[in-house]
Amino acid sequence: MIRLQATPTSPVPAEHGEGPVFDAAAQELLWVDITAGLVRRGTIAGDDVVPVASHRGGDTVGFVAPAAAGGWLLGAGAGITRLTAEGDAQVLIELTGEGGSESAGGTRMNDGACDRAGRFFAGTMAFDERPGAGSLYRLDLDGTVSTVLDGLTISNGLGWSPDDRTVYLSDSGAKTVWAFEYDLDSGAFGERRVLLDFSDDPAGVADGLTVDDEGCLWTALWGGAQVRRWSPEGELLAVVEVAAQNTTSCAFAGDLLVISTSVHGMDDAARAAQPDAGRLFTVRPGVSGPPANPYRGPLGALRQR
C-alpha cells in the first residue's frame, strides 16, 4: 500500500469546504463553502491553487457543477440554482419536501455531480443528520427533476466508473459507499451492492469521492485526516495523509488531486491545533482523473415530476 502526504494551498480556509471540481472549459477549479453559501474559484499553478473569485450562491451551497451553456449549476438551499459567470445567482427550482430551517428540522442540498451524458444529480440531508431524511434527485436533459433514491441519511460523494456501467454513492450517515449498476442511456440506477463499509472503521466515514482514469475510487474520510484510494473491488491501495481532521471531498485537475477540508463543528482548541484545516490540499499520486462533466440540459423552465 502506498502512503502520500498532501500539502496545503494558498486560498484562505473555508468554514465548511467541500466539493472541488475542475471545470476544463474555464480551466478553473471550483469548490464551495457550504455554510457560508459561497462558490469559490481558482486556477491551478503547479501544486498550488490561486484564488480568482468567490460568489454568493445561497444560504447554503452543497456543490457546484459547470453548465455547458455557461456559468454553473448549484445544489443550493432546498433546490437547484444557476450561477452566471458574472456571479448572479437565480433559483431555478425548489424541491417539494425539501428545505426549512435548521431549528425546524429542515433539509438542505449536500453533494452531487453530472454524469457523462450531462444529467445533474443532487443529494440532500437533514441539518440534524437524522436517518432516512436524505434523497437523491436527477435533473434530466429535458428539464424535469425526479427522485432517484430516498431514505438516505447524508447523500454524499457521487462518481462513475470509466465505462459508465457503475455509479458509486457515499451515504456518510449509513457509513457506506454503494456501487450501483448504471444505465447511461436512461440515467437509471440498478442493482446495488455495498462496496465499502465504515461501520467499524475508527478513522472516520466516507464523505466525498472521485474516480480516476484507472477506475479506482478516492474517498475523503470525515474525521480521518486522510483520503484513501480503493480498487473497484474494494481493496485499499493508497492513503493520502492530510493535516486536517475533516477531509470532505477530492477531485482531479489532470494528475493533481485536490482535497477539500472543513472546520465545521470543531471547537476552538481543535481549530488551533489544525491551523490549515479548512484549506484545500493537493498531492500528485501518479494517476489522473477526468474533469467535471457539465450539465447539458436547459437552464430554465425546470419542473419536478
Q: Is position 207 annotated as part of the catalytic site?
A: yes
Q: Residue 180: which of 141, 149, 203, 202 has the closest Cα?
A: 149
303: pLDDT strictly greater than 90? no
Q: For 238-264, give the secondary structure using H, E and C.
A: EEEECCCCEEEEEEEECCEEEEEEECC
- Residue 84 makes CB contacts below 8 A (sequence gap 6+) with 70, 71, 90
pLDDT recorded at residue 204 = 93
Mean pLDDT for the stretch of residues 266-294: 95
Whether pLDDT at 9 is above 90: yes
Average confidence (pLDDT) over 257-265: 96
**Residue 301: pLDDT band by 50, 70, 90 thresholds?**
confident
Question: Left (φ > 0), alpha (ψ -120 to 50) or beta: where does 151 sit?
Answer: left
Average pLDDT over residues 240-269: 96
Q: Considering the chain, what is the average pLDDT of its residues? A: 96
N residues, the chain: 305
pLDDT of residue 291: 95
What would the pLDDT profile of 153-206 be if each residue is shown by its tens digit?
999 999 999 999 999 999 999 999 999 999 999 999 999 999 999 999 988 999
- Condensed to tens digits (0 to 9), the pLDDT of residues 95-150 reads 999 999 888 899 999 999 999 999 999 999 999 999 999 999 999 999 999 999 99
pLDDT at 176: 98
pLDDT at 231 over 90: yes
Q: With pLDDT > 90 as the criterion, what percentage of the chain qualifies?
A: 94
Write down the pLDDT at residue 300: 82
Write the pLDDT tens digit of every residue in 32-50: 999 999 999 999 999 999 9
Q: The whole model's pTM is what?
A: 0.97
pLDDT beyond 90 at 274: yes
Assess whether pLDDT exceeds 90 at residue 305. Answer: no
Catalytic residue among 23, 33, 115, 207: 207
pLDDT at 103: 87
End-to-end CA distance of the chain: 46
The sign one gets for the Cα dihedral 107, 172, 8, 84 is negative
pLDDT for position 1: 87
